[in-house]
Amino acid sequence: MKKKWRNHIEKYLQQDDLVNDITHGRVHALEVEKTAMEIVKQCEIKLSEADEMILRAACLLHDIGYTNYNNNWSKGKYEHIFESIILTKGILSKIEPFSNDDALIESVCYLILKHDDTNYSFPICSMDSCEITNPINFESNVNIELIDSKRDVLDQLVKFIREADALQGIGLEGAKRTFNYSISRGLPIVSPGNAINSYAWEESAITNVRLAERRGILDAYSKYGRSIALKGYAEVEGFIKNICRRNSIKFEEDGIDSHININEIGGDHKSQRVELTGYKNWYQVINQLRNVTLRCSDQLFPYAGAEITSELIGFEDISPLAYYVLEEQIKRQEELYVNLLKTYGIDIFNLSGIIEFKINSCPFIIAPPIIEYYYESEGENKGPTYALVDGLHRCFTAQKIGLKKIRVIMIKNVGEQFPLVPLPLTWDDVSAEKIVPSSKRIYRFKSREDIFELFKQFPTTYNEVNTPIKSDKDQDVIYYTYRDLSMIGSDGIRAAKKINENDEWKL
């Protein structure tokens, strides 16, 4: 019986469309089946005859929906899942023993429905927008009737097919296949910003290779699968390095397997339920930064003509601008780091775009830390300065867990007429506090007279008519040239007061 049903499916896979499709066709289906059964064997799990049949059938049929592709499909082609389910029901309804047991067919379709969940957790990008396809919503779009007592077993089988499918995309051959397929569809070799380390499908050929690589790491459920994934990871990194060398592109390691052991970082990481809801690519980051304004005027744009790049920088080169970090914030940053990395392969210390997400249903935005490079002429720390304008807690947390560098948005050539609010400090000046202290920074402007000096120095930019000092309140004086970075997730100016433990967490 087993041979008969499988032979029928193999005969179906002999269609020209499936034989010629090296990415989703016959060869891929057979390899996924072979890998899944090897994972079961290595895990020393004994499947019932019915469960083995369900797993094998799902592996063989999980991508057949691609044969119904048309130009109206979404960029991520998630429609292939629904088409695969429709075709699978038609095929299996004619094959015994599936034809005699609807529950078997429904079980196979459930595995097909869930096999690409990690893939569709990543954003799908175009030049000016990114689409988030939440795989949780897939289940509401199909009618699959499961026996409740069977769901736990099926969720285990999902792990096998998901891992087996993901492992096909890593290693040297997987990298070549993904890269060539991406180039054939007109994608550039690298993406803007951080050229070879992005978080959305379709930004570039190398991005797609990297995401396939990350998917393999994330879906490596078994010890056997993880060993294959890590070996394949090294091969992929070598492949990318060669591509970069041939095209005169600066190579940077992805680093997902060389991170600090995330399981050893303290804190209750399960307290955060993280859901990715949006991603803005480098083009969008640049556009938002160009529109940043000052506190004193919504008509002044300090970054409009600046040079903006994405760079890795060592902490020893960064000058913090505040005396304190909050202990509770550090704890939350650690939790976010672990949960985003485990769930999406997103490293908050190596971002090249803006991530939008929810924590326990509350929305947040996080962008790379922002550095302004300029020559400081005042205070104790004079000279060329990499001033940390935004992202202090992340930089402090990254150092705390042992990282040496962090990816930042580097902004250079900001006009002298737009001086920063604080003077630079050193990391030795920064301490972790339970509450916001009364002494927060060394402020450049200490009185109205200091701002009048700014008026005299740059009269075409500032004057009492177009950019008046709003009041004598401290914030209106000392924060006169404060950058409004709220559009990229900055909390703004923190008041010196005790944190209310019942307040919602802010990044």
Dump pLDDT digits (tens) for 54-106: 999 999 999 999 999 888 888 888 889 999 999 999 999 999 999 888 889 99
- 212-265, pLDDT tens digit by residue? 888 888 888 888 988 888 888 889 989 999 999 999 988 877 655 444 454 555
Pick the CATH number of 264-488 from 1.10.1280.10, 3.90.1530.10, 1.10.357.10, 3.90.950.20: 3.90.1530.10
Q: What is the pLDDT of residue 353?
A: 84
Domain coordinates in residue numbering, the chain? 1-168, 169-258, 264-488
The DSSP line for 103-151 is HHHHHHHHHHHHTTTTGGGS-EE-SS-EE---GGGGGGGS-----GGGH
In this prediction, residues 478-485 reach a mean pLDDT of: 94
Sign of CA dihedral 334, 339, 340, 346: positive
Q: Report the predicted TM-score, pTM, of the whole model to 2 decimal places.
A: 0.78
Amino acid letter, residue 451: I
* Of residues 71, 70, 63, 69, the one with CA closest to residue 88: 63
Question: Sign of the CA dihedral 141, 143, 144, 149?
Answer: positive
Q: What is the pLDDT of residues 202-215, one digit of tens each?
A: 888 998 998 888 88
Angle ∠(462,465,469) on CA atoms, nearest 5: 70
pLDDT in tens, 256-296: 544 445 455 555 555 668 888 888 888 888 999 999 999 99
Contact assessment for residue 113 and residue 143, using Cβ atoms and an 8 Å cutoff: no
pLDDT at 132: 77
For residue 355, the SS3 value is strand
Q: How many CB atoms lie within 10 A of CB 7?
A: 11
Q: Which amino acid is at 470?
A: K
Q: Which tokens belong to 90?
A: 């038609």
To the nearest whole percent, how much of the chain has pLDDT over 90?
A: 49
Least confident of 137-151, 255-269, 329-343: 255-269
Please give the pLDDT value at position 319.
Answer: 98
Q: Which DSSP category does 503 fall into? A: S
Calculate the dihedral angle through the C-alpha atoms of 224, 335, 237, 227, rounding to the nearest 10 degrees. Answer: -10
Query: How far apart, in whole angstroms, are the C-alpha atoms of residue 286 and residue 301?
Result: 13
How many other C-beta atoms are found inside a 10 Å radius of the C-beta of residue 356?
19
Structure tokens at 73: 């499909």
Whole-angstrom distance, CA of residue 461 vs CA of residue 297? 10
Q: 1-168, superfamily in CATH?
A: Hypothetical protein af1432 (1.10.3210.10)
